Each structure stands twice: as C-alpha cells, then as structure tokens.
Amino acid sequence: MTPQHKAALAKGREEGLAVRRYLEAIESARPRRGRRRTPASISKRLSAIDTELATADPLTRLHLIQQKKDLADELGRSAESEDLGELEKQFVKVAKAYGERKGISYATWRTAGVSAAVLQRAGVARTRG
C-alpha cells in the first residue's frame, strides 16, 4: 500500500468520524416531548428514589434501581457532553468533501437534521436532481 493510499484512508476515517460525531450530537440535542430535565431536577429525583428504595417492595425496588441507573447515566452524559460548536466546526471542514465522495445530497443532509446554515458554511450546494 502506498503512502498516498494510507493517507487517503486516514483522511477518510477522520472525515467519517467528524460527520458521525456531529450527527450524533444533533440527534441527542433534538428536543424531546415533555418537560426538559435539568441536572438539578435529575439530582432531586435521584434523592427521591433513594428515599423510596428504603420501603419499596421487591418489584418496585427493581424498577426504582433501573430508573436510578438511567437517571445517573443521563446526568453523566449531560456533564460530559461534547461542545456542539466544536463538533460543528469540524463537520463544516469535512462535510462537502465527505458528501461528494459518498454521494450525499443536500436534501439528504437536511433530512438527517443538519441545518441549512451549517450546510451553507460547509459549502454544500443546494442542487436539484
């Protein structure tokens, strides 16, 4: 394998990773139904679960333990969430080349949740066809 081929493969992996991370970030940031949970409300519910666990029957305890785990995971994700701005910057750098190489149209990017403004900054042209 030539050095140029290896470099092209590495570039493709880097671009794919930037696109994947950005799409995952916008997917997780998409508004959900219902009231938005804050870290404070999650912590409050975790405290309430601890209180409920002391007197819960075995089946209720099982569900409370799972709910506690889910909330702790959610709290961890919100604390460790990557900066969307930085992911967007990386996406903008690679989106045009990645899309051209993979045959991804403007409409497909939009359907995947990428905003028109981000695509414009990335240089992805709105074409018909």
Q: pLDDT tens digit string along 91-129? A: 999 999 999 999 999 999 999 999 999 999 999 998 754
| Alpha-carbon span 89 to 78, nearest angstrom | 20
- Does residue 128 lie within any of the structural domains? no
Q: pLDDT tens digit string along 16-65? A: 999 999 998 888 776 667 777 788 888 999 999 999 999 999 999 999 99
- Does residue 129 lie within any of the structural domains? no
Q: pLDDT tens digit string along 56-88? A: 999 999 999 999 999 988 877 665 555 788 889
Cα end-to-end span (Å), the chain: 37
**What range defines the domain where residue 46 resides?**
3-122
The DSSP call for residue 9 is H
Q: Is residue 47 exposed (0-12), middle (13-18) or buried (19+ Cβ within 10 Å)? A: exposed
Q: pLDDT at position 128, please?
A: 57
Work out how many domains the chain is built from and give that number: 1
Q: Output the pTM of the full model.
A: 0.63
Distances (CA, A) of 27 to 20, 22, 56, 113: 11, 9, 36, 8
